[in-house]
């Protein structure tokens, strides 16, 4: 691997040939602002917020896609760069509703952060702002394209990670909008409601319906855990306020799922505080009615029934079906119990096929 020396903001850094300037800056501990870039996706180079100056280049370049092929001198934060970035942000804000007070993204919005950092004049360019209807028609995702900055992250993740191609840019020029085929609701498309698009949206254009109005971003405490649904063991963050799970997100790190989740992992957590959630074992009486019993009574009843069947009909009259929701260790113990205690190999697992 060829190593190239670069000078970035007067720091000498060595990077492998082909590294992007954005990545090289990260190695040097320099943060370059960006909106459309996402480390899980191929660079789009559409927002132009990450522009930097490369000595010898006539125009500023997008650091997310400009690869280092030879020795370079780079300025990531000089006056020329800062002026260009501010202008780009002001152009983005020219069609933005600036609705931070009521926005679900308030406090965790990159656009809001950069607008503040670069002291943008929000109303410098006056253009008619879009007036799209807010789409709340599906059960999981609120789509408010008035806040969309057309960064394309949602389109890219639906295509590159989810391999679904449910959404894409439609129309042209000022009318450009991210949409489904024929601008229908997500529920009328083949959308899997994985919520990946929500997870990468840098603004409040896409948000989780279940969390609407329940917590400001700074009130949420993230509790990392493992998804309870299947045996993949995806890493999830429970976003908790007042001991209630408000929404589920996923950390982008070296975990098995790298921030990706399915619909169950991301949205299927309403059972946690559901009023109908079973909190103690139920025993059905002869009339078919359930009554609550203690765990001790439940285990004693199951043990005596299993013994009765085994004594009367033999071990192979009993079969055990275990669950992908259990850990490997729990599944191991279960099969051991069936084989050693019950005495049968009639054991199967819902995820076997």
Task: Select 49 or 72, whichever has its Cβ closest to ligand SF4.
Answer: 49
E strand segments, the chain? 3-8, 11-16, 51-54, 61-62, 72-75, 141-143, 168-170, 177-179, 206-208, 221-226, 235-241, 244-249, 282-284, 290-292, 320-322, 347-349
Task: Select 100 or 240, whichever has its Cβ closest to ligand SF4.
Answer: 100
The least CB distance from residue 214 to ligand SF4, in Å, is 16
Q: ∠ CA(132), CA(112), CA(34), 5° rounding?
A: 95
The least CB distance from residue 162 to ligand SF4, in Å, is 5
Interface with ligand SF4 (CB under 6 A) = 96-100, 103, 105-106, 109, 111-112, 147-154, 157-158, 162, 164, 166-167, 178, 186, 191-197, 200-206
Task: Select 4 or 192, whichever has its Cβ closest to ligand SF4.
Answer: 192
- Kindly report the number of other CB atoms within 10 A of residue 57's CB atom: 12
The least CB distance from residue 261 to ligand SF4, in Å, is 10
Task: Select 174 or 313, whichever has its Cβ closest to ligand SF4.
Answer: 174
The least CB distance from residue 43 to ligand SF4, in Å, is 14
Q: ∠ CA(15), CA(118), CA(150), 5° rounding?
A: 75
The least CB distance from residue 21 to ligand SF4, in Å, is 22
Integer CA distances (angstroms), 107 to 40, 179, 244, in order = 23, 26, 20
Task: Select 232 or 318, whichever has its Cβ closest to ligand SF4.
Answer: 232
Question: Which contacts of 325-334 are long-range, i.e. CB under 8 A and separated by 24 or more positions?
Answer: 325/228, 325/229, 325/230, 328/231
């Amino acid at each position: 691997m060829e190593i190239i020396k670069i000078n970035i903001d007067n720091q000498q850094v060595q990077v492998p040939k082909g590294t992007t300037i954005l990545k090289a800056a990260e190695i040097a501990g320099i943060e370059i602002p960006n909106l459309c870039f996402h480390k899980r996706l191929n660079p789009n180079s559409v927002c132009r917020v990450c522009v930097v100056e490369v000595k010898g280049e006539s125009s500023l370049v997008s650091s997310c896609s400009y690869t280092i092929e030879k020795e370079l001198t780079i300025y990531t934060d000089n006056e020329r760069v800062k002026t260009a970035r501010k202008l780009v942000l002001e152009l983005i804000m020219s069609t933005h509703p600036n609705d931070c007070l009521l926005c679900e993204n308030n406090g965790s919005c990159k656009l809001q952060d950069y607008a503040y950092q670069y002291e943008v004049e929000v109303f410098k360019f006056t253009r008619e702002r879009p007036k799209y209807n807010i789409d709340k028609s599906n059960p999981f995702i609120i789509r408010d394209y008035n806040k969309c900055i057309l960064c394309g992250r949602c389109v890219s993740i639906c295509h590159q990670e989810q391999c679904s191609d449910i959404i894409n840019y439609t129309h042209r020029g000022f009318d450009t909008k991210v949409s489904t085929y024929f601008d229908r609701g997500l529920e009328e498309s083949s959308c899997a409601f994985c919520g990946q698009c929500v997870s990468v949206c840098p603004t409040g254009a896409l948000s989780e319906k279940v969390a609407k109005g329940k917590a400001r971003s700074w009130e949420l405490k993230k509790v990392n855990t493992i998804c309870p649904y299947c045996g993949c063991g995806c890493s999830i963050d429970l976003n908790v306020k007042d001991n209630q799970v408000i929404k589920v997100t996923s950390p982008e790190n070296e975990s098995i799922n790298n921030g990706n989740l399915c619909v169950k992992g991301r949205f299927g957590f309403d059972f946690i505080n559901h009023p109908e959630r079973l909190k103690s074992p139920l025993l059905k009486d002869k009339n078919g009615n359930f009554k609550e019993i203690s765990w001790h009574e439940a285990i004693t009843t199951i043990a005596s029934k299993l013994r009765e069947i085994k004594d009367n009909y033999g071990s192979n009259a009993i079969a055990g079906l275990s669950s992908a929701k259990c850990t490997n260790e729990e599944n191991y113990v279960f099969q051991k119990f069936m084989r050693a205690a019950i005495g049968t190999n009639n054991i199967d697992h819902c995820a076997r096929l």
